[in-house]
Homo-oligomer: A and B are copies of this chain.
Amino acid sequence: MASRAKATIFDIAREAGVSKSTVSLVLQGSGLIRPETAVKVRKAIEDVGYVYNRGAANLRKAHSNVIGMVINDLTNPFFAELAVGMERVFQSAGIVPFIANTAENPVRQEEVLKSLMEQGVAGLIVSPARGTTPGAFRRLEMAGVPVVFAMRRLPESRIPVIAPDNHRGAYLAAAHLIGKGHRRLAFFGGTSDLVVYQERLGGFREACETLGIATRDVLVIEGETSRKGGIACLETALAMAEPPTSALCFNDAVAFGVMLALRKRRLEPGPDFAVVGFDDVVEAEHYMPALTSVAVDTAGLGERAAHVMLKMIQSRTTRAEDHIGAVNLVVRESCGPDRRTRNRPAGTGGAA
């Protein structure tokens, strides 16, 4: 039962009565070998229980066919979905991507990147951790390893980015709220160290300005991008003198938190306080009430990123064009009816 030393191509060469070179050719599916010989070799491979040593092969080939996906938070279904989208296209290209999680920790990310480089990855798709320093990808660039950013970008970097049109999405969402009659809007969650945050907040602000909301009526509260963060945002917002009546949330997790906190105060998300999410994760549809959210086609962007990566590897380049994915607002129930048809105030005690 205890397997002796690992079998090599020499062992199977002996078994099949051919040379190691022949075995190598069979392994690579070369058309140069006679079919009967190939059969013989393949049988020997099976008999001996040989397993190919890709490390040894890469030593010679310097082209490793492993692709890494570095994800900032695997427990966020949004990123899990992204990963799955990428996997789909890699699978049909016959390659198995390895996923690594950085848990939103730049130090961990550094380790992960180092490890992947040492492993000799052919390319990397990365959703960078919050607080990634500008130099974090220098070594990758020096080594000429193709990298693409997915969903997030770094402030100044020449690495291609695949991301949704955050500005537009936020604009649409804000316009929706304003169209429903809201005049005091908030932007909940996220922190300004994320470029995505700047983009979304930018779109939000532009909509407010364009559509005639006074600056003093737009409230911005930073916070964790989680349910917990959403709860906190709502609490501080409602504690203000003139609380907002609606909010665009940095992402769906924050929005879920906001709705939770509303419920806890016996306020009905929608009629009492309108909330819009961002990303449109699968749960959004199933929530009570169903969450209105900006859909970004996560899996589609993942697929796109994978395709770009494949093309970069194939053409041995480290450059590619950015790709900004279309977004659209999925209107469900979390914004309630038009505000102007009624007048119950949101907030702790304000009046309409």
Contacts and interface: CB of A to CB of B under 8 A. Distances in A.
Interface stretch (A117-125, A147-155, A213-221, A334-342): A117-125
A244 to B, nearest CB: 23
Contacts of A111: 91, 96
Nearest to A95: B115
Contact of A66 (B52, B74, B119): B119
Interface string A117-138: 1111000000000000000000
A143 B101 contact: no
B99 A101 contact: yes
Contacts of A64: 55
A56 B55 CA distance: 7
A288 B266 CA distance: 13
A59 interface: yes
B96 A115 contact: yes
A286 B263 CA distance: 11
A51 B96 contact: no
B96 A144 contact: no
Interface in A72-100: 74-75, 77, 80-81, 83-84, 87, 91, 96-100
23 contacts: A3-B142, A49-B139, A49-B142, A51-B139, A52-B118, A54-B55, A55-B58, A56-B59, A74-B83, A74-B99, A75-B77, A77-B77, A77-B80, A83-B101, A87-B101, A96-B112, A96-B115, A96-B116, A97-B100, A98-B100, A99-B99, A263-B288, A283-B283
Interface of A: 2-3, 6, 49, 51-56, 58-59, 62, 64, 66, 74-75, 77, 80-81, 83-84, 87, 91, 96-101, 103, 108, 111-112, 115-120, 139, 142-144, 227, 256, 260, 263, 283, 286, 288
